[in-house]
Amino acid sequence: METEILSTDLVDARVAPLGSLEHLSQQEIAKLLDSGQGGLYPLFRKCALAVLNTGGNIDDTRLIFEKYRDFDLRIVRQAWGIKLEIKNAPASAFVDGTMIRGIKEHLFAVLRDVVFISNEIIDGGRFDLTDSPSITNAVFHILRNARILELQVKPNLIVCWGGHSISRAEYEYTKKVGYELGLRGIDVCTGCGPGAMKGPMKGATIGHSKQRIANGRYLGLTEPGIIAAEPPNPIVSQLVIMPDIEKRLEAFVRLGHGIVVFPGGAGTAEEILYLLGILLDPANQHQPFPVVFTGPAGSADYFQQIHEFIGATLGAAALSRFQIILDDPPAVARALVHGLAAVQDHRRRVSDSFGFNWLLKIPPEFQRPFDVTHEAMSALRLSMDRPVHERAADLRRAFSGIVAGNVKEYGINAIERHGPFELYGEPAVMEPLDRLLRSFVAQRRMKLAGAEYRPCYRLVA
């Protein structure tokens, strides 16, 4: 690798692929370098910069892009393949002039997924992305192309959700839970970022090491809108860039055999509502899916608030789909191991794959991308007179909009131009929603520690 250190902050380099995408067609290269409408360069640049900026302490995407506004990358074609020519890259991605191997793998995972999704999923004509089964098929092909769907002899993948902005005590607790999972041979999948996404992976590496498990898996699933605010942490061994948040969430629930939820903010609430909305669909009532909410003793108020919100807006059936275990990592791991046994028995009985849950029904309202605009947010029907899984779908969209207004570039820009998003609904929904959001703000769960939070939403009952 040819490297030039420009300063303590910036580096120029030429980087060769690691084991994949040694060759690109002329058409693919042209599309990757096209910065116009329909070109992939802006998307590729954004995701590549996020990967190279791993470990950064800024979650405002615009500040990140402004800090590295001179960052650039080009594809160099050579007789034996391609290289990436990188200009003004974050120096933290290099050690003594050489790009860190894990970051290099993540960089070319970005290239792999950006090319495949554009050519095969969006422009290939094989997938109707307005049709529910076709969307699921597209998710499957993205994961298969990334070689995520390895042959599994038993279900052992736990998805860990939680906030990127959590306290030190909560972060240390996520590592302890990950350690207990690793000791039991369980692999970990997260949103790939910092905080509650990094901690379980870090703990699991130690648990796997103690058990001499050399092939432990640490999957990270992200999407372009969130990757800059939550760049992949260095533990991630397999990174996948999904096209949007809805396909990312579908990948989580079809890959995972159980879920742990740590403390978080609006993004974690979105994930919870997505999961419960699907599990509450009558077609999924017999699907075993272990779900544990957990944190240290100091997080009890957070989970109490979540419990009250779910009970008030989704009812007792939703509360029955998860358990809360506080301050007891071994108990969390044991509960999940017990749940995995039920998942294994069920998958064998119905002849469903261990690696991808085809039989889980995901209604179209959870699959269709939600275009976050002021009009779309104000049009959400936050009321109690709808089937519970449809109610959960619109609540999920509301939190998706709040996440966009908090950390996604287009959402932040929209708030600056038009003011806060307005959410309308009846008091039976809006009052518990207001209490939950106020608790997130009071507990500083909306931004990284030290950053002042200005609400991007206004609730109107």
pLDDT above 80: residue 22: no
Q: How confident is the model at residue 315 (pLDDT cuts 50, 70, 90)?
A: very high
Q: How confident is the model at residue 10 (pLDDT cuts 50, 70, 90)?
A: confident
Q: How confident is the model at residue 448 (pLDDT cuts 50, 70, 90)?
A: low
pLDDT value of position 434: 96
Superfamily of domain 2-126: MoCo carrier protein-like (3.30.1850.10)
Q: Is the pTM of this model over 0.85?
A: yes
Domain with CATH 3.30.1850.10 in the chain: 2-126
pLDDT value of position 8: 58
Written out in words, the top-level CATH class of the domain with range 140-350 is alpha beta
pLDDT value of position 59: 60
123-132, 303-312, 329-338: lowest mean pLDDT where? 123-132
Share of residues in the chain with pLDDT > 70 (%): 92
Domain with CATH 3.40.50.450 in the chain: 140-350
- Reported as a single tens digit per residue, the pLDDT across 364-401 is 999 999 999 999 999 998 999 988 988 999 999 999 99
For every residue of the chain, which 3-state class applies, written as one string?
Answer: CEEEECCCCEEEEEECCCCCCCCCCHHHHHHHHCCCCCCCHHHHHHHHHHHHCCCCCCCCHHHHHHHCCCCEEEEEEECCEEEEEEEEEEHHHEECCEECHHHHHHHHHHHHHHHHHHHHHHCCCCCCCCCHHHHHHHHHHHHHHCCCCCCCCCCCEEEEECCCCCCHHHHHHHHHHHHHHHHCCCEEEECCCCHHHCHHHHHHHHHHHHCCCCCCCEEEEECHHHHCCCCCCCCCCEEEECCCHHHHHHHHHHHCCEEEECCCCHHHHHHHHHHHHHHCCHHHCCCCCCEEEEECHHHHHHHHHHHHHHHHHCCHHHHCCCEEEECCHHHHHHHHHHHHHHHHHHHHHHCCCCCCCCCCCCCHHHHCCCCCCHHHHHCCCECCCCCHHHHHHHHHHHHHHHHHHHHCHHHHHHHHHHCCEEEEECHHHHHHHHHHHHHHHHCCCCCCCCCCCCCCEEEEC
The mean of the pLDDT values for the chain is 90
pLDDT above 70: residue 449: no
Share of residues in the chain with pLDDT > 90 (%): 67
Q: How confident is the model at residue 3 (pLDDT cuts 50, 70, 90)?
A: low
pLDDT value of position 79: 63
